Protein backbone atom coordinates (compact mmCIF):
# COMPACT_ATOMS: atom_id res chain seq x y z
CA UNK A 1 0.00 0.00 0.00
CA UNK A 2 1.33 3.46 -0.91
CA UNK A 3 1.75 6.18 1.68
CA UNK A 4 -1.48 8.20 1.85
CA UNK A 5 0.47 11.47 1.58
CA UNK A 6 1.94 10.46 -1.81
CA UNK A 7 -1.52 10.05 -3.36
CA UNK A 8 -4.15 12.72 -4.06
CA UNK A 9 -6.84 13.32 -1.47
CA UNK A 10 -10.33 11.90 -2.03
CA UNK A 11 -12.21 13.98 -4.58
CA UNK A 12 -15.52 13.41 -2.75
CA UNK A 13 -14.76 13.84 0.96
CA UNK A 14 -11.14 15.11 1.13
CA UNK A 15 -9.83 12.18 3.20
CA UNK A 16 -6.50 10.50 2.35
CA UNK A 17 -6.56 7.81 -0.34
CA UNK A 18 -4.70 4.52 -0.56
CA UNK A 19 -3.58 2.09 -3.26
CA UNK A 20 -5.58 -1.16 -3.39
CA UNK A 21 -5.63 -4.25 -5.60
CA UNK A 22 -8.87 -5.83 -6.74
CA UNK A 23 -8.89 -9.51 -5.82
CA UNK A 24 -10.68 -11.01 -8.80
CA UNK A 25 -8.33 -9.70 -11.49
CA UNK A 26 -5.40 -8.07 -9.69
CA UNK A 27 -6.23 -4.65 -11.13
CA UNK A 28 -4.84 -1.75 -9.06
CA UNK A 29 -6.85 1.31 -8.11
CA UNK A 30 -6.91 4.19 -5.63
CA UNK A 31 -9.72 4.43 -3.10
CA UNK A 32 -10.76 6.51 -0.12
CA UNK A 33 -9.50 5.39 3.29
CA UNK A 34 -12.98 6.08 4.71
CA UNK A 35 -14.46 3.09 2.82
CA UNK A 36 -17.31 1.96 3.24
CA UNK A 37 -18.62 5.42 4.30
CA UNK A 38 -17.09 6.94 1.16
CA UNK A 39 -16.93 4.74 -1.94
CA UNK A 40 -14.87 7.04 -4.18
CA UNK A 41 -12.36 5.21 -6.40
CA UNK A 42 -9.98 6.05 -9.26
CA UNK A 43 -8.64 3.61 -11.82
CA UNK A 44 -5.00 3.75 -12.87
CA UNK A 45 -6.02 5.57 -16.07
CA UNK A 46 -8.13 8.13 -14.20
CA UNK A 47 -5.33 8.72 -11.69
CA UNK A 48 -2.83 9.27 -14.51
CA UNK A 49 -5.12 11.80 -16.19
CA UNK A 50 -5.66 13.60 -12.88
CA UNK A 51 -1.91 13.81 -12.22
CA UNK A 52 -1.26 15.12 -15.75
CA UNK A 53 -3.98 17.74 -15.35
CA UNK A 54 -2.62 18.88 -11.97
CA UNK A 55 0.94 19.03 -13.33
CA UNK A 56 -0.23 21.08 -16.32
CA UNK A 57 -2.09 23.51 -14.02
CA UNK A 58 0.95 23.82 -11.77
CA UNK A 59 3.23 24.58 -14.75
CA UNK A 60 0.74 27.16 -16.04
CA UNK A 61 0.57 28.87 -12.63
CA UNK A 62 4.37 28.92 -12.38
CA UNK A 63 4.64 30.42 -15.89
CA UNK A 64 2.07 33.09 -15.04
CA UNK A 65 3.90 33.96 -11.82
CA UNK A 66 7.23 34.19 -13.67
CA UNK A 67 5.68 36.44 -16.32
CA UNK A 68 4.16 38.67 -13.65
CA UNK A 69 7.54 38.98 -11.88
CA UNK A 70 9.24 39.80 -15.18
CA UNK A 71 6.69 42.53 -15.88
CA UNK A 72 7.17 44.00 -12.40
CA UNK A 73 10.97 43.93 -12.59
CA UNK A 74 11.32 45.41 -16.08
CA UNK A 75 10.92 49.15 -16.57
CA UNK A 76 7.60 50.17 -18.06
CA UNK A 77 8.92 51.96 -21.16
CA UNK A 78 5.81 51.51 -23.24
CA UNK A 79 3.43 52.95 -20.66
CA UNK A 80 2.82 56.69 -20.94
CA UNK A 81 1.49 58.53 -17.93
CA UNK A 82 -0.62 61.62 -18.47
Structure confidence at residue 80 as a pLDDT band (50, 70, 90) = low
Question: Alpha-carbon distance 81 to 66, whole Å?
Answer: 25
Mean pLDDT over the full length of the chain: 81
Question: 19 near 1, Cβ under 8 Å?
Answer: yes
The model scores a pTM over 0.75:
no
* Per-residue model confidence as pLDDT tens digits over 16-46: 999 888 888 888 898 999 999 999 998 888 8
CB-count burial class (<10 Å; 0-12, 13-18, 19+) for 77: exposed
Residue 4 has pLDDT above 50, yes or no: no
Amino acid sequence: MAKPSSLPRCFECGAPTCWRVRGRDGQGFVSCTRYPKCRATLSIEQLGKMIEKLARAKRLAADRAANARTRLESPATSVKLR
